Structure 1
Amino acid sequence: MDQTQPDLLAPLGELAAFAGRWTGGGSGHYPTIDDFSYDEEIELSPSGKPFLFYRSRTRKPGGGMPMHTETGYLRLAGDTVELLVTQPTGFVEIHRATLSDGVLGFTAHALNASPDAKPVHQIRRRFELLEDGAALAYDMWMAFDTTPMTHHLRAELRRAN
């Protein structure tokens, strides 16, 4: 995050610590697929308002083919933080959390899907700042088709700016 523009960060309060571009790698697993690895870039860009624009892009390791992307917002809603996510696979998500010691342990508030989307029934996410804000870790759990809520993704990303 460009620290020369603190006016953009002011409305974010403690959420400002998440602002920036994060890069690194992660791994995925699920009972219905083979384990896999990926490279990822997450951007959490401030606007001067009480939200961060969120964009995640993953690729096969080493700069390979694109794998997944999603966009949305990480926003303050009173004492709560909301993560709003739109996926090109036909899903929209709203998650809510309370920021505590650099951790956002989100609880799903709403998940909706287009009629042609795959049968994902639940998603849960967790963001955590590590190493005094130099790293961002996240986890994602998912309930898909007949598989109950199961851990699916884990990544640790480094602050790239």
Structure 2
Amino acid sequence: MIEIPSDLHKDVVPLAFLLGTWEGAGVYDFPGTEKCNFGQEIVIRHDGRPFLEFRSRTWVLNEEGEKVRPLENEHAFWRITSNHDGTTGARGIEISSVRDDGTVEIWYGELADGKPQVDVSTDAVARIEGSPEYSGGKRLYGFVNGELLWVGEKAAPNVPLRPYMSAQLKKVLSPAQLIKDINDLPDDGIAFFK
């Protein structure tokens, strides 16, 4: 079930399925780097203005699933744009993001019509000196059976666009939600087990 907070700006209501803290794991594989499994935490929140704030932290996992070292972090702002041609249906998405390796990206894409799915591609990429070679990318995010699934594609000057990261994430309940759920139990707690 997708809940829409009462103070969510009306312009980003179609992105409400993304809100929350998500955790899970995925696979990282790009030429010139070590292939690995990674853990990820994504926090997507709002403050009442017409955008969502997106923060992602990833880390390399060993074979036992333990954190080994940081992989990459990203901070972004997601907005919905209006259809300039006056049509209804899919709505435009724009994302401005920065990664800890010194990469800044502008993404454009669409929110699928009638389903919780976002498909975006880079429009502009800027890198500081020393950041990894990177010329563009694509991402697909989808809310499937209560989970957030995503896949990222990446291109570099000598590597054509190809999948390089994907993850399956589960929503983490906040302590406030847990307390609300506890408050919904019968007073004695025993009736719950009958």
TM-score normalised by structure 1 residue count:
0.88
Deviation at 1:112, TM superposition (A): 1.3
- Counterpart secondary structure, 2:35: strand
- Counterpart secondary structure, 1:13: helix
Q: CA–CA distance in 1 between the matches of 2:45 and 2:159? A: 35
Partners of 1:11 and 1:48 within 8 A in 2? no
Partners of 1:9 and 1:16 within 8 A in 2? no
Q: CA–CA distance in 1 between the matches of 2:106 and 2:67? A: 30
Deviation at 1:11, TM superposition (A): 4.1
- Counterpart secondary structure, 1:34: coil
Distance 1:151 1:137, change over 3 A: same
The counterpart of 2:100, out of the listed 88, 103, 106, is 88
Deviation at 1:154, TM superposition (A): 0.6
Q: Which gives a bigger RCO, structure 1 or 2 (Cα 8 Å, sep 6+)?
A: 1
Q: Which amino acid aligns with 1:76?
A: I
Gap runs ≥5 in structure 2: 83-90, 174-194
Distance 1:25 1:9, change over 3 A: farther
Q: Deviations over 1:10-54 (max 9, x none)?
A: 442211111111000010112323320011000111111121111
Partners of 2:23 and 2:170 within 8 A in 1? yes
Gap runs ≥5 in structure 1: none
Deviation at 1:114, TM superposition (A): 1.7
Deviation at 1:126, TM superposition (A): 1.3
Q: Which residue of 1 aligns with 2:153?
A: 141
Q: CA–CA distance in 2 between the matches of 1:116 and 1:31? A: 18
2:53 matches 1:53: yes
Deviation at 1:4, TM superposition (A): 9.0
Structure number, greater radius of gyration: 2
Q: If each structure's strand is expressed as a fraction of its own residues, which one has the higher value?
A: 1
2:150 matches 1:113: no
TM-score normalised by structure 2 residue count:
0.74
Stretches of 4+ moved more than 3 A in 1?
Answer: none
Partners of 2:60 and 2:71 within 8 A in 1? yes
Deviation at 1:103, TM superposition (A): 1.2
2:169 matches 1:122: no
2:164 matches 1:152: yes
2:81 matches 1:69: no
Paired residues, what number? Answer: 157
- Counterpart secondary structure, 1:123: strand
Q: CA–CA distance in 2 between the matches of 1:113 and 1:90? A: 6
Partners of 2:4 and 2:16 within 8 A in 1? no
Q: Which amino acid aligns with 1:117?
A: S
Deviation at 1:5, TM superposition (A): 4.5
Q: CA–CA distance in 1 between the matches of 2:51 and 2:132? A: 29
Deviation at 1:67, TM superposition (A): 2.0
